[in-house]
A = this chain, B = another copy of it.
Amino acid sequence: MLTKPRAVVLVSGGLDSATTLAIAKDQGYQCFALSFDYGQRHVSELEAAGRVADSMGVVEHKTIHLGLGDIGGSALTEEAIDVPKDGVESNVIPVTYVPARNTVFLSLALGWAEVLGAQDIFIGVNAVDYSGYPDCRPEFIAQFEKLANLATKVGVEGSDWHIHAPLIELSKADIILRGTELGVDYSQTVSCYEADIKGRACGVCDSCRLRAEGFASCNVQDPTIYK
């Protein structure tokens, strides 16, 4: 019997990364889930990440502590910056942008993957994020793949890295439909920027709004519990 290839999957506890994990599993990978405790306001996400990883039978779930809060610069890590509730503007990078976040996350995933002998990394960036965050665009992902080949021992030895972003072209509704097809239990996930300790959502932040619109537009029942 062939051994399944290993993959590191970034799991935040949100809807997108839960779907990404289900896709990686469906594609036949042994999944290693990676989360970050980076001083985000919504720590209930991390509990959700644990629930999602457990229920999908990952081989291991690792949470790395990371001092991104020390760096500041985002509404998601700094108390002084308000989380927006006025909708996402097109072509404007929102204040929830965390400087270099996906570069940092993918770098750490790269390090762990190299130790595990994996050469596949899954990240749940998508078309909705794409409108605002520079590090959610296809060209960023492609460039990081090139960097991985130059940055690592296995890359130098001639093996190629693959950075998978299976949601990148999908709308929120398409993501939910795909995940539902794969049996994702979205009641385990938390999307809200200001969820309470029990994971209950505010219903008014941009992330809540995008999630609710996604469920509504594909006629899947929204299992989100609001405060």
Residues of A within 8 A of B (CB): 62, 64-68, 70-73, 93, 97-104, 106-108, 110-112, 114-115, 134-135, 137, 139-140, 143-144, 146-148, 150-153, 155-156
Contacts and interface: CB of A to CB of B under 8 A. Distances in A.
A12 B137 CA distance: 33
A111 B67 contact: no
29 contacts: A64-B66, A65-B66, A65-B67, A68-B111, A71-B115, A73-B114, A93-B156, A98-B111, A99-B110, A99-B111, A99-B112, A99-B115, A99-B153, A100-B110, A101-B111, A103-B110, A103-B147, A104-B107, A104-B108, A134-B150, A134-B152, A134-B155, A134-B156, A135-B150, A139-B150, A140-B151, A143-B143, A143-B150, A143-B151
Contacts of A65: 65-67
Nearest to A108: B104
A207 to B, nearest CB: 19
A103 B106 CA distance: 9
Contact of A152 (B99, B111, B114, B153): B99
The A interface is mostly helix, strand or loop, or mixed, namely helix
Contact of A100 (B99, B102, B108, B134): B108
A216 to B, nearest CB: 31
Nearest to A157: B93
A134 B151 contact: yes
A100 B152 contact: yes
Nearest to A144: B147
Nearest to A155: B134
Contacts of A135: 150-152
A57 B16 CA distance: 45
A65 to B, nearest CB: 5
| Chain A to chain B: the 8 pairs with minimum beta-carbon distance, closest first | A100-B111, A73-B115, A99-B114, A99-B111, A103-B107, A64-B67, A100-B110, A104-B107
